[in-house]
Structure formats: C-alpha cells, structure tokens
C-alpha cells in the first residue's frame, strides 16, 4: 500500500545557484505541479478577460448611463489594482500564498457582482475599484506562486503557458464584450467573471499546497502593517475632471512610498535592494513601459474600427485578433528561447524594435484603409509586445536572490499595472485633445457631450449626413495617428531602457521556504523517471 502522508517535496541537493553563490534545490514536478500551472493560467485568464472585454463595450455603457466619464471605467480598475500590488506581496509573505490568492479571487468576484448590478456610472466606477483590488492580487500572486515552484532558468516556457491564459482572454475579450454590448447585455460581461474567478478558486483550493509561514497572528499583523503603512499614501482623487492629475499624485505618492520603504519601514514591502542593480532597474523600467504601448493599442484600436470603419462592437473585437492572437504564442516562443539559450537581451532588443515598427505601421492608417491592413499591422505589434511581456521577467529576477521573489514580483506586477494606467489615460488624453481641435465646433456643441467626447460620439457617427460623417471619421483618424506616434516614442524609450541590462546567469533553484508539498508516492515516481533518463543519457 502506498504511503499517503503529505511530506515536503524531495530536494535535489547541491545545486549551485548562478549569480548569488547560494546553494538551493530543484522541486520535482508531479501531477499536482501541472494542475497548479493550470490554476494559475485560469487565474490569469480571469483578470485579463475583464480588463480587455470592457474596451469594446465602453460606448454602449457610456450611452446607457448618459455619462462622459468613460475613461474611469478602465482607469479605476487599473488604479485600484496598482495601489494594492505592493501590499499583495507583503500579504503573501506573511499569510501565505494560498490564503492570499483565495482572498483576492473572492474580492474580485464580489467586485464583479457589484459591476453587473450597477445602477449608475458612479457606482460602476466604485465597483471597478473593488474588482481592481482583487485583480491586482491575482496578478501578483500568479507570478509569485510560479517563482515558488519553477527555477528562473526554466521559467520562460511556464511563464509563457500562464501568459497564454492571459493572451487567450485578451483575444476573446473584445469579442465577448462586443457580443454582450450589441445584445444590450453588457452586465453579463461582469457576471461571467464571477464564474471564472470561482473556477480559479476551486483549482487553487484543491491543488495549491505550498509551505506556510509560521508565527502567531499578532506577529504576522505586526510585520504586515509596519511594512505596508506607506502604501495608503498612493491616492488618486476620483472627483477630478483632469485625467493627468491622479497620475501626477500617484507618482508623488509612489516616491513617498519608496522613500519610506528605504528609510523607515522595519519590514519593507518593497525592499530598496530590488532596484540597486542596473539590470533589475532596467527590467522594471521595461515592465512599466510595455503595457503603456499594449493598453494604448488594446483600448484605441477598437475606436478606429468603430468610429472610422463603422464596425460594431463584435466586429471590432474580431478585427483585434491580430494583436491578441500573436502575443500568446510569441510570448511562449521567446520564453522558451530563454530556457534554451539562457540569454534574454538579444530577444528584448528584437522585440522592442518590432514594437516600434508595429506602432509606426499604425500611423499609416487612413479613413479609406482596409480593415485587413489594420489587422496585419497589429500582428507586427503583437509579436513584439508578446515577447516583451515574457522577457522583462528575467532581468528583474536574475540579479536577486530567490528569497526576494515575492517582494520583487509584487513590485514587478505593480510597475506593469501602473503602466496600464498610463496606457489608457495617455491615449484618452491625446485622443480627446485631438478631437476637440479637429471635430467641427458646431457638431461638438450640437451633441453637447461634455468633457470626454470620444466614446459618446461613436454611436452617433452612423446617423450623420455624409459630409459630417466624413469629417468625423477624418478627425478620429488624425487624432488616433497622434496616439500611435506617441506609442512609437514610448516604445523607443523601452528599447533604450533595455540597453541598461547586463547578462546575469539565471537561477537554477527555487526558494526552499515556499516549495510545494507532494505525496511521497508522487515524489518517488518522478525521481524514478529522472533516474531512468539520467541512466539512458
């Protein structure tokens, strides 16, 4: 009879880490390991589906509530998740990965239910804040858990597999959002998230069994609060009519937070050591810049298809497949190339160059450009961004000891989400300013849509007479061209930041304090397989 008592995963001893001089261990990969990978992929799918699906439904939502604050539907979500991210790493370190992940999934589900039941735009924005807190934790914990069970050198492919869940959601999200929007059932877009987060919770509860930290609840709370006190200083005034004000305050709050963490905090959530080497700093900068370009494309390509080409929400979602369907496979491909070559710099240079070229191609779009041309340009951009989304992981972590994975990855997710905020709001600001100057003033006065006009005008364009419709389409095309030009410059900054990386050998072990627990029979089976392979070799 096989043994059934749960034991710690068997370590393969004397594995020398590279870059730190420490001795670590390799975890054995049994069937529970693969189910945990599946759980993380489903979790990534859950948070990404909501983020991307809402983009094509925004015109319908704004029209139903007769509101112009459309940008806050996306920005509130991103701001809340970003503000919570540094705290999520501290929670995971103090209370354990499994409990923190389940709590974040529950918060996300509650926020989704609130979004679906929203009676007004203000309530919807508040509900998106709740949903964003949960999503931020899901994003952070997904990466932290992966780092606990897979050594950095092998992580490229697994990170790509989890990224595939994110990319699949990104691909079908606009289509799902468009389908619900066209049928007048946009609320079910949020109710769907309750199901996906519940499914993720079942997988996490059933299969994720990592070591848990010791200590009393009082000790854990003390460590958490003394490290996280400053994170409440990242404030964003929701009542402000100016889009950039909360971003400026956010940057100021971030500066205060980092100073506090470096000089005061007894148990810092974001240890200052994470950014003291140029390779990790370069990785964090690239991680911040990539989603600015990605979200700028994800949110404003549907605007081109709906406002200029006359596509409905569903069709605009289909036309966005060129971007979404390339990010996943090329993210996996470039991640696998790191696992194979143990190099990440050449791939990063190539991917940033492709992102610049892809954004540049978008500037060629005109009113009479074919939809297939736009979809083709997306593919080039998607290849570059898909690779970058996987590659920035390695310069961040390779110079750091594995014991700092949780804090490093929480801040990694924070910088990525902070970039998402800029991607949405920079695009909104540029598009808004362009439309104000390029749309006929008589038309703007006639529709009387207030400050943020883009999404409010889109449903009206098909009803305009031919001449005015042509003027509106040209105004959108010219304004979006400026958005693409801004993305070129931002991607160029990303390429420059990538030159700051040095080559650091990748870790070959994980942190022993956070390894998976497996049954002895599973470990014995995996070790026999490995021994057989070694004998044949």
Query: In the chain, what are the domain boundaries?
Result: 25-528
Q: Which of 87-96, 231-240, 315-324, 450-459 has the lowest mean pLDDT?
A: 231-240
CB-CB contact of 47 with 143 (8 Å): no
* The pLDDT value given to residue 377: 92
Token pair recorded at residue 129: 């804040």
Q: Which residues contact 423 (CB under 8 A, 6 or more apart)?
A: 291, 292, 293, 294, 295, 296, 298, 299
* The pLDDT value given to residue 508: 67
Q: Which band of pLDDT confidence, cut at 50, 70 and 90, is reported for residue 495?
A: very high
Closest residue by Cα to residue 234 from 212, 209, 262, 253: 253
Q: Please tell me the pTM assigned to this model.
A: 0.69
> Measured between alpha carbons, how far apart are the two ends of the chain, in Å?
32
* The pLDDT value given to residue 5: 34
In this structure, the chain runs to a length of 537
With 60 as the cut, is the pLDDT of residue 358 above it?
yes
Beta bridge partners of 12: 26
With 90 as the cut, is the pLDDT of residue 498 above it?
yes
* The pLDDT value given to residue 447: 58
- Determine the 3-state secondary structure of 246 from DSSP: helix
Average pLDDT over residues 388-407: 81
User: Per residue in 81-133, pLDDT tens?
Assistant: 777 776 777 777 777 788 888 989 999 999 999 998 988 888 988 899 899 88
The structure tokens 């990063």 sit at: 348
The structure tokens 């911040």 sit at: 288
With 60 as the cut, is the pLDDT of residue 134 above it?
yes
25-528 fold: Growth Hormone; Chain: A; (1.20.1250)
User: Per residue in 58-72, pLDDT tens?
Assistant: 777 877 887 666 667
Q: Which band of pLDDT confidence, cut at 50, 70 and 90, is reported for residue 328?
A: confident
With 80 as the cut, is the pLDDT of residue 510 above it?
no
Q: What is the DSSP string of 392-452?
A: THHHHHTTS-GGGHHHHHHHHHHHHHHHHHHHHHHHHHHHHHHHHHHS-HHHHHHHT--S-
With 50 as the cut, is the pLDDT of residue 292 above it?
yes
* The pLDDT value given to residue 16: 37
């Amino acid at each position: 009879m096989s043994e059934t008592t749960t034991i710690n995963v068997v370590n393969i001893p004397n594995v020398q880490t590279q870059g730190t001089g420490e001795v670590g261990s390799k975890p054995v990969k049994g069937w529970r390991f693969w189910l945990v990978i599946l759980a993380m992929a489903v979790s990534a799918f859950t948070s990404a589906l909501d983020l991307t699906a809402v983009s094509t439904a925004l015109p319908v939502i704004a029209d139903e509530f007769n509101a112009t604050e459309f940008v806050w539907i996306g920005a509130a979500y991103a701001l809340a998740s970003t503000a919570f991210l540094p705290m999520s790493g501290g929670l995971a370190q103090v209370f354990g990965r499994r409990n923190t992940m389940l709590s974040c999934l529950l918060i996300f589900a509650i926020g989704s239910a609130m979004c679906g039941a929203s009676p007004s735009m203000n309530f919807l924005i508040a509900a998106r804040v709740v949903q964003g807190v949960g999503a931020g934790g899901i994003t952070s914990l997904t990466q932290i858990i992966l780092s606990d069970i897979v050594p950095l050198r092998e992580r490229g492919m697994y990170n790509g597999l989890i990224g595939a869940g994110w990319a699949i959601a990104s691909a079908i999200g606009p289509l799902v959002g468009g389908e619900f929007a066209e049928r007048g059932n946009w609320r079910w877009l949020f109710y769907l998230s309750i199901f996906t987060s519940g499914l993720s919770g079942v997988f996490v509860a059933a299969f994720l069994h990592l070591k848990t930290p010791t200590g009393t609840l009082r000790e854990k709370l003390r460590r958490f609060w003394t490290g996280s006190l400053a994170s409440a200083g990242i404030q964003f005034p929701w009542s402000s009519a100016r889009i950039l004000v909360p971003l400026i305050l956010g940057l100021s709050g971030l500066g205060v937070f980092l100073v506090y963490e470096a000089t005061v905090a007894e148990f810092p959530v974001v240890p200052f050591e994470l950014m003291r080497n140029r390779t990790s700093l370069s990785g964090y900068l690239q991680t911040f810049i990539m989603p600015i370009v990605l979200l700028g494309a994800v949110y404003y390509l549907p605007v081109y298809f709906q406002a200029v080409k006359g596509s409905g929400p569903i069709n605009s979602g289909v036309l966005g497949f060129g971007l979404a369907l390339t990010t996943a496979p090329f993210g996996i491909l470039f991640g696998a190339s790191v696992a194979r070559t143990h190099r990440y710099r050449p791939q990063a240079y190539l991917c940033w160059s492709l992102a610049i070229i892809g954004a540049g191609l978008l500037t060629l779009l005109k009113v009479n450009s074919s939809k297939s041309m736009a979809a083709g340009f997306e593919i080039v951009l998607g290849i570059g961004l898909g690779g970058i989304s996987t590659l920035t992981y390695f310069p961040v972590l390779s110079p750091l000891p594995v014991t700092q994975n949780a804090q490093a990855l929480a801040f990694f997710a924070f910088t990525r989400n902070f970039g998402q905020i800029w991607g949405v709001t920079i695009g909104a600001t540029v598009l808004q300013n362009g439309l104000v100057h390029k749309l006929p003033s008589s038309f703007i006065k006639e529709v009387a849509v207030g400050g943020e006009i883009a999404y409010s005008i889109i449903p009206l364009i098909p009803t305009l007479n031919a001449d005015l419709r042509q003027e509106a389409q040209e105004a959108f095309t010219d304004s979006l061209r400026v958005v693409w030009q801004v993305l070129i410059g931002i991607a160029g900054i990303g390429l420059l930041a990538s030159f700051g990386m040095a080559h650091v050998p990748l870790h070959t072990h994980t942190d022993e304090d956070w390894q998976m627990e497996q049954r002895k029979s599973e470990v014995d089976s995996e070790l026999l397989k490995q021994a057989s392979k070694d004998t044949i070799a």
